[in-house]
Structure 1
Amino acid sequence: MLVSKWGNSLAVRLPKALFDELGLKEGDEIDIVATRKGAIEIETKAEQRRRAIENMEARNWAALPAGYKFDRDEANER
């Protein structure tokens, strides 16, 4: 793959075979979550959300008190 200039960043084009192997499609947002010795691991936003929810459930953070209602204005008060 060729590293190319894209605006103020550098970019690489991924081959279609890699997209197919990873189950990615146009428009998917991904994060590079780890790099080591020439290997790259990616995670889609959907996978990241799923993992975060699993972590919250494992710590019982996902359970909210009965009658809880999020109030955006109250949360943003300074």
Structure 2
Amino acid sequence: MLIAKWGNSLALRLPADYVRRIGVKEGDQVQASLTTDGGICLRAARWDRQAFSRELEKSRADMPMTESVMDELRREARY
């Protein structure tokens, strides 16, 4: 395998046989982790509905409901 420069990052090209074995395609996400012996472990990232729901709920909690932007614009007559 070859490591190449990709912008400010480095990229690793996966052989087609590896790609077929793990069942990924262009645009898919993978999870990378370091092993205790210094290796890298790549796994296809599967969509987790519960994790997504928790992340969405946290995002909603971080964005308090405020006055409608359109109502504010109409009141100020800026449109």
* TM-score for both structures, normalised by structure 2: 0.54
Q: State the partner residue of 2:27.
A: 27
Identity score, percent: 33
Relative contact order, CA 8 A, sep 6+: which one is greater? 2
Bigger proportion of residues as strand: 1
Q: Which runs of 4+ in 1 moved over 2 A?
A: 50-53, 72-75
Aligned residues: 60
* Separation in 1, partners of 2:11, 2:5: 6
Q: Partner of 1:17: helix, strand, or coil?
A: helix
Q: Aligned Cα RMSD in Å?
A: 3.5
Distance 1:50 1:42, change over 3 A: farther
* Separation in 1, partners of 2:42, 2:20: 15
Q: CA deviation at 1:74?
A: 7.7
Q: Which has the larger radius of gyration?
A: 2
Q: CA deviation at 1:6?
A: 0.5
Q: State the partner residue of 2:16.
A: 16
* TM-score for both structures, normalised by structure 1: 0.55
